[in-house]
């Protein structure tokens, strides 16, 4: 499951979304030819409220709230449209009901529930209600059945289909006990290879099937040019503007050469249900398909824009602005976040303020290899794109468009593997990436933070790293164990170039002990060095600079995360790149697969701690501290003086004074970072 590659946006004016009319498909509805049956009924304001502790088998799925007020009979019909019954609130279940209503529906006090427990249950003149008072729930019998109240329904039907109307047309998705999910929805027209994405303008009336994932973008062993799809996980569907939920917009990693928004590792259902947020995950074009340009050959960006994958991200964010209210999400409360290459994409988004205005209000960057700068046009056009055209014997873009995906991927793999020999300081482990194109991205991130070239997008930032980011990449260099200590110098030179590697050796900050029984000591030391140089130290360096702007920044590091690697693996017992994904999402892939991915109570506890801070950051628009204390320390804003950093562990702490200071001071002052060269 783990992949040890460095895995890790169309300017858009806000378009007010046309809000959804929510329909629930009948049991007879079938999905054929990408269209769902129009046999469906109308319902408004369905919200799945769960008590989701992220524990295996302990999640409590108490009820669905129909927030639209109606008579008891109409409320019961609304439940029926969902394939459910009015909720029978037994006393043993009241604590879960109380928790959910207090947290997510505190403005509503009285609800219709199942009437079967009333002494006059055969009467249609009186009904049962649940009333909230002082945070406690009480069941009352004998209430009027004609008073208009919201209704609580059971939450047991796992195969329900649901249709929402966007401003483009209806989509039919699925419901499970955590909420609603819509898969494989196009956010762009089928693309012309290497061209900028185009927004969908044609509208439709028949529901489009959104129960299956769309094609992934071209990568090793899979993919199609027609791949610009996104997926939405939501606990709430509404037909008005009331109670729209914050949106968490995720950008996957994969070294800009692999991955997709349909990876089950970051299934968004638990995050959506626990936080009552809407989670969006996207595909974007990868590799040569997503970052192909030839300005060096005189081909204008109007013809061949480059940064196609970044334009895809921007268009997906614009789609969210136009459509997410149909899925219960608030377009004014979007948080963009991503891991690894997805974190690099967050850096790119922050680097184009003119193009991202109004598209999001806060961002989270997980494990961005921030030492690696954006590509220069010379590298993106000449080395990468020009090299590919030469290898494929193509002199025109038309020729490249006729080549098979397999041929292009094969050439891409050769370019990536050979990159270290051509441009090591610019391309080590991530040759293909966003470039400074002069249109979207005008400069490297450190220069933009300093106020040059138009500056950055002014939003709060959360940013952080893993304790052992670099270790998992060493096998990709052909390194096994035991490894001769002389190899450390080769690795340092690959990262730094000869001159800076010699300076590093002279300072002897990374000695390899002689008197040790650790057969993997050379790779362990290499891992510490790579982690410092590519992640920890440059992240701190830019965090100091970012903290001097008017934007809040919060920094973290994982001292413990989730890993299922076997004994003997280079990441066994360590906190490696990508180990945060399972903790951030608590994906059912991990929680419900005890054999392949054992999920312990400690994993669940750490996941609650982490996810609740991601959620708080998104819900508040920039403050990661939950509104209800959970016994963990308050997370301070990062500033250049105290350098307060949240240390995620089973017992979280706050570190001050910065991480790895002697090593980071050396890198700050003596050898500098690749983005400074």
93, pLDDT greater than 80: no
Least confident of 85-94, 241-250, 371-380, 506-515: 85-94
pLDDT tens per residue, range 598-607: 899 999 999 9
Q: pLDDT: is 16 or 645 the higher one?
A: 645
C-alpha span between 450 and 447 (Å, rounded): 5
Using CA atoms, how far residue 483 sits from 84, 235, 519, in Å, is: 61, 50, 8
Pairing verdict, β 278-282 and 245-251: parallel
Mean pLDDT of the chain: 89
Tokens matching residue 157: 């039907």
- pLDDT for the residue 420: 64
- pLDDT for the residue 422: 61
* Nearest residue to 138 (alpha-carbon basis) of 179, 183, 101, 187: 101
Burial of residue 509 (number of CB atoms within 10 Å: 0-12, 13-18, 19+):
middle
Tokens matching residue 174: 């699925």
251, pLDDT greater than 80: yes
C-alpha span between 413 and 436 (Å, rounded): 23
- Model confidence at 123, pLDDT cuts 50, 70, 90, reads low
- pLDDT for the residue 204: 96
- Model confidence at 423, pLDDT cuts 50, 70, 90, reads low
- pLDDT for the residue 36: 43
- pLDDT for the residue 503: 96
Pairing verdict, β 553-558 and 645-648: parallel
Residues of the chain with CATH 3.10.100: 22-153
Q: Which fold has domain 22-153?
A: Mannose-Binding Protein A; Chain A (3.10.100)
Least confident of 154-158, 230-234, 420-424, 622-626: 420-424
* Nearest residue to 30 (alpha-carbon basis) of 237, 206, 238: 206
Q: pLDDT: is 278 or 159 the higher one?
A: 278
- Model confidence at 232, pLDDT cuts 50, 70, 90, reads very high
324, pLDDT greater than 60: yes
Could you tell me what percent of the chain has a pLDDT over 70?
90
pLDDT tens per residue, range 269-312: 999 999 999 999 999 999 999 999 999 999 999 999 999 999 99
- pLDDT for the residue 129: 95
368, pLDDT greater than 60: yes
59, pLDDT greater than 70: no
| Cα dihedral 599, 603, 605, 611 sign | negative
Tokens matching residue 482: 């035991």
Residues with Cβ within 8 Å of 168's Cβ and at least 6 positions away in sequence, in order, are 200, 202, 203, 204, 323
> What is the CATH code for 460-676?
3.40.50.1820
Most confident residue range from 20-24, 593-597, 638-642:
638-642
197, pLDDT greater than 50: yes
- Model confidence at 480, pLDDT cuts 50, 70, 90, reads confident
Active site residues: 340, 469, 577
> What is the CATH code for 166-427?
3.40.50.1820
Most confident residue range from 341-345, 372-376, 472-476:
341-345
Residues of the chain with CATH 3.40.50.1820: 166-427, 460-676
């Amino acid at each position: 499951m783990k992949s040890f590659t460095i895995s890790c946006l169309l300017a858009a004016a806000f378009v007010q979304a046309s809000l959804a009319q929510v329909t629930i498909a009948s049991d007879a509805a079938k999905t054929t030819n990408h269209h769902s049956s129009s046999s469906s009924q109308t319902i408004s304001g369905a919200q799945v409220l769960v008590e989701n502790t992220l524990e295996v088998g302990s999640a409590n799925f108490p009820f669905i709230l129909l927030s639209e007020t109606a008579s008891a009979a109409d409320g019961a019909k609304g439940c029926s449209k969902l394939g459910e019954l009015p909720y029978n609130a037994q006393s043993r279940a009241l604590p879960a009901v109380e928790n959910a209503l207090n947290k997510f529906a505190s403005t509503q006090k009285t609800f219709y529930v199942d009437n079967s427990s009333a002494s006059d249950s055969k009467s249609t003149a009186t009904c049962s209600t649940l009333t909230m008072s002082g945070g406690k729930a009480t069941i009352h019998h004998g209430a009027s059945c004609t008073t208009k109240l919201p209704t609580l329904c059971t939450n047991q039907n796992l195969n329900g289909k649901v249709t929402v109307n966007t401003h483009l047309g209806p989509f039919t998705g699925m419901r499970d006990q955590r909420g609603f999910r819509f898969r494989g929805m196009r956010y762009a027209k089928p693309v012309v290879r290497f061209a900028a994405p185009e927004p969908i303008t044609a509208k439709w009336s028949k529901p489009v099937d959104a129960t299956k994932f769309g094609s992934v973008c071209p990568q090793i062993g899979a993919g199609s040019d027609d791949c610009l799809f996104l997926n939405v996980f939501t606990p709430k569907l509404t037909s008005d503007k009331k109670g729209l939920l914050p949106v968490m917009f995720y950008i996957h990693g994969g070294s800009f050469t692999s991955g997709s928004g349909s990876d089950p590792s970051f299934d968004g259902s638990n995050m959506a249900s626990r936080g009552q947020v809407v989670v969006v995950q996207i595909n974007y074009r990868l590799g040569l398909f997503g970052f192909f340009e030839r300005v060096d050959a005189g081909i204008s960006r109007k013809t061949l824009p480059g940064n196609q994958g970044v334009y895809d991200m921007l268009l997906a964010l614009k789609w969210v602005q136009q459509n997410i209210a149909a899925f219960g999400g608030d377009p004014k409360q979007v948080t963009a976040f991503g891991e690894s290459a997805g974190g690099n994409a967050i850096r790119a988004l922050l680097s184009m303020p003119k193009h991202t205005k109004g598209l999001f209000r806060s961002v989270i960057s997980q494990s961005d290899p921030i030492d690696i700068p954006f590509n220069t046009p010379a590298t993106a056009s000449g080395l990468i794109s020009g090299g590919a055209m030469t290898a494929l014997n193509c002199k025109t873009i038309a020729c490249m468009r006729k080549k098979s995906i397999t041929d292009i991927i094969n050439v891409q793999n050769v370019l990536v593997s050979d990159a270290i020999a051509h441009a090591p300081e610019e391309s080590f482990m991530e040759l293909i990436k966003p470039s400074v194109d002069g249109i979207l991205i005008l400069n490297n991130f450190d220069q933009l933070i300093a106020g040059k070239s138009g500056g950055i997008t002014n939003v709060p930032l959360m940013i952080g790293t893993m304790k052992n980011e670099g270790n998992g990449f060493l096998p990709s260099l052909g390194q096994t164990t035991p490894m001769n200590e002389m190899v450390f110098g080769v690795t340092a030179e690959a990262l730094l170039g000869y001159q800076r590697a010699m300076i590093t050796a002279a300072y002897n900050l990374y000695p390899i002990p002689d008197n040790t029984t650790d057969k993997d000591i050379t790779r362990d030391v290499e891992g510490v060095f790579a982690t410092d140089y590519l992640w920890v130290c440059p992240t701190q360096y830019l965090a100091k600079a970012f903290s001097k702007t008017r934007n809040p920044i919060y920094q973290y590091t994982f001292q413990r995360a989730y890993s299922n690697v076997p004994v003997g693996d280079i990441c066994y017992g360590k906190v490696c790149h990508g180990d945060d994904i399972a903790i951030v999402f608590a994906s059912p892939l991990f929680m419900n697969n005890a054999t392949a991915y054992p999920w312990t109570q400690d994993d669940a506890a750490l996941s609650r701690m982490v996810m609740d801070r991601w959620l708080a950051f998104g819900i508040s628009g920039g403050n990661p501290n939950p509104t209800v204390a959970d016994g963990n320390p308050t997370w301070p804003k990062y500033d250049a003086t105290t350098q307060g950093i949240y240390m995620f562990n089973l017992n979280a702490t706050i570190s001050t004074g910065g991480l790895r200071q002697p090593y980071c001071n050396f890198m700050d002052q003596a050898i500098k970072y690749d983005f400074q060269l």
